[in-house]
Amino acid sequence: MTAKTTPFPPPSEGTNRSPSPRKQVSGAGEMADLTRAHDWASTPLGPIDTWSDTLLCAVNVMLSCRFPTVIFWGSEMIQFYNDGYRPLMAEKHPTALGQSAHECWKEAWHIIGPQWEAVLAHGTTSFMKEVLVPVIRNGRLQDIYWTYSYSPIYGPEGTVDGILIVCHDVTDEVVAARNLRESEARATRVLESIGDAVIVTDADTCILRMNPVAESLTGWTIDQAKGRQLSKVFHIVNEATRQTVEGPVDKVKQFGTTVGLTNQTILIRKDGTETPIDDSAAPIRDDEGTLTGIVLVFRDIAELKRAEAALIQSEKLAAVGRLASSIAHEINNPLESVMNLIYLARQYAVVPEAQQFLDTADQEIRRVSIIANQTLRFHKQPSNPQEISCFDLFLTVIGIYEGKLRNAGIEIERRYRAEHPVICFEGDIRQVLNNLVGNAIDAMPAGGRLLLRSSEATDWRTGRKGLTLTIADTGVGMDAQVRQKIFDPFFTTKGIGGTGLGLWVSQEIIQRHNGALRVRSSQREGSGGTVFILFLPFDAAIR
């Protein structure tokens, strides 16, 4: 049977409208009191004692309900609501009691009016979740989200006499969920924009997020890894022993502090391939300081290690070559003297056997001379000088030491002001810078500041224009006696950890470039440190 509304009869009509002292609004609370005190005679419903049993029962049930509930009654949809709904009315309360729905909700009638009319006309029941219904609050139209249910209230004859609405304002929840989604989207964009690999776990080290770099390095996609223990995805071993090592995330969970590790670990990808990495991790805490997650950051340092190995090998070869050159020079001089003596001995040797011995000695001496001359050429630069900027010279060297600088707590300050490139043997100059930066790091075991500066300058001694590169540290400094010997071969302040060849080789290289390498140092408390100033002329003919 199709439900339909019936108009309100006059109070005197209908068997259920006769006055009865037993008809009363029950219950306690603000809305129960307001409902009892309201002037219902001024509404189409008439006084309470004329209400139908169905209306009175519905109102009493509504007033007893703790959940926000509204009733609209009759064709004009006269409004009732309970204490749970009262705060949602804002400034509409208390005048909304006894108002028609259209009058009370006119700002949203184009949305909710057709739905309510459908309930009255057809008995339609509906449930809506997180629906936007703008209403006036605090004097202005606001976007309010609702979860609600509309149900018909049937009279004794099966007609729809009213509407029961159970609802809840879910604006805070919707906004919070939207903000969370936006926050997660921002976090995803940030993760995807980071050049290093990033994995975020919960407090139990189960994976929550991974950026594309982490997916690439581990061989796991986020869909495969999400929810897994980090150790299943991020499997690292010691570079030397290949034994599984404790990762930085485990250390954060254990100690609760940020952990940075040296680049001595190997990441085993999902397919079994190996990648050298450096890694670090930091705790994520809530407002109360409770550990809620951990973020792991790591990166592929294969290229960095290859560059470092190549630079170290280049420095070793240069040092060996220069040492061999020095030895060859020392050998060559007496060889020439011996060859001259053999020549003179030939003039006085009359015995054939003596001549034969002298010939043999001459052949052997010449062979040793050839070896010495080949040794002299061992250290010579095999490539041609090239044009390069100061930025490029510093870039590779700092890249090699980046992890060591970070772990040592050394801050880098860059002041690159020179734009004019210089022509040099690039490998040799990089070797010099590598040696100077390495010495600066060793001079700051407790951390400090490393200054890298470039500028175009004029050598006051020669008047030549060129490039000045400055490497300065805030380390322990050197006394005058040490400064006098630092360019001597085999002089070192590092004990068995140093060869004493680095600055000697560096000085040789700079001299071959017709440049200059100068040093200043101080051991004064609060202002100690060392400054190396490297000058390379623009117009120098490299020897």
Rg of the chain over Cα atoms, rounded to whole angstroms, equals 45
Residue 244 is classified by DSSP as B
Q: What is the CATH number of domain 194-300?
A: 3.30.450.20
What fold is seen in the domain 386-537?
Answer: Heat Shock Protein 90 (3.30.565)
Q: Percent of the chain, pLDDT > 70?
A: 84
Which of 156, 215, 220, 169 has the alpha carbon at shortest distance from 191?
215
Residue 358 CA to residue 499 CA, distance in Å, equals 42
Segment 71-76 shows an average pLDDT of: 93
Q: What is the pLDDT of residues 310-364, one digit of tens each?
A: 777 666 666 666 666 666 666 766 766 677 777 777 777 777 777 777 777 776 6
Residue 84: phi and psi, rounded to 5, are -65, -30
Q: Where are the domains of the chain?
A: 15-174, 194-300, 305-376, 386-537
Residue 227 is classified by DSSP as T
Residue 120 CA to residue 163 CA, distance in Å, equals 7
Residue 4 has a pLDDT of 43
Residue 287 half-sphere exposure toward CB, CA atoms < 13 A: 0
SS3 sequence of 145-182: EEEEEEEEEECCCCCEEEEEEEEEECHHHHHHHHHHHH
Q: Is 195 exposed, middle or buried (0-12, 13-18, 19+ CB in 10 A)?
A: exposed
E strands, 389-515, are 410-416, 422-424, 448-458, 465-473
Residue 7 pLDDT > 50: no
Residue 82: phi and psi, rounded to 5, are -105, -175
Q: How many CB atoms lie within 10 A of CB 344?
A: 9
What fold is seen in the domain 15-174?
Answer: Beta-Lactamase (3.30.450)
Which of 210, 218, 168 has the alpha carbon at shortest distance from 192?
210
Which of 422, 411, 415, 413 has the alpha carbon at shortest distance from 453?
415
More confident residue, 331 or 439: 439
Residue 219 half-sphere exposure toward CB, CA atoms < 13 A: 13
Residue 401 token pair? 């030491």
Residue 10 has a pLDDT of 45
* Kind plus residue range of the DSSP H or E element containing 73: strand 69-73
Quickly state the pLDDT bin for 496 (edges 50, 70, 90). low
Residue 262 has a pLDDT of 57
Q: What is the pLDDT of residues 203-224, one digit of tens each?
A: 999 999 898 899 999 999 999 9
Quickly state the pLDDT bin for 80 (edges 50, 70, 90). very high
Please, what sign has the CA dihedral across residues 306, 307, 310, 313?
Answer: negative
Residue 497 CA to residue 508 CA, distance in Å, equals 22
E strands, 172-289, are 197-202, 207-210, 235-238, 259-260, 265-268, 274-285
Task: Out of 5-9, 158-162, 249-253, 408-412, pick the least confident.
Answer: 5-9
3-state SS assignment for residue 84:
coil
Segment 116-136 shows an average pLDDT of: 90
> How would you classify the pairing of strands 448-458 and 410-416?
parallel
Q: DSSP per residue over 341-366, as a string? A: HHHHHHHH--SHHHHHHHHHHHHHHH
Segment 122-138 shows an average pLDDT of: 90
First to last CA, the chain: 109
Quickly state the pLDDT bin for 366 (edges 50, 70, 90). low
Residue 191 pLDDT > 80: no
Residue 257 pLDDT > 80: yes
More confident residue, 303 or 366: 303
Contact 358, 349 (CB under 8 A): yes
Q: How far is CA 487 from CA 155, 478, 501, 534, in A?
A: 108, 13, 8, 14
More confident residue, 48 or 527: 48
* Kind plus residue range of the DSSP H or E element containing 78: strand 78-81
Residue 20 token pair? 């009865």
User: How much of the chain is in helix, strand and coil states, percent to nearest 5?
Assistant: 40, 25, 30
Domains 305-376 and 386-537 share a fold: no
Contact 222, 213 (CB under 8 A): no
Q: DSSP per residue over 89-151, as a string? A: HGGGTTTTTT-BHHHHTGGGHHHHHHHHHHHHHH---EEEEEEE--EEETTEEE--EEEEEEE
Place of tokens 């734009």: 419
Place of tokens 């044009």: 387
Task: Out of 49-58, 69-78, 237-246, 433-442, pick the least confident.
Answer: 237-246
Please name the CATH architecture into which domain 305-376 falls: Orthogonal Bundle (1.10)
The residues, any chain, with a CB within 8 Å of residue 268's CB and separated by 6 or more, are 235, 236, 237, 274
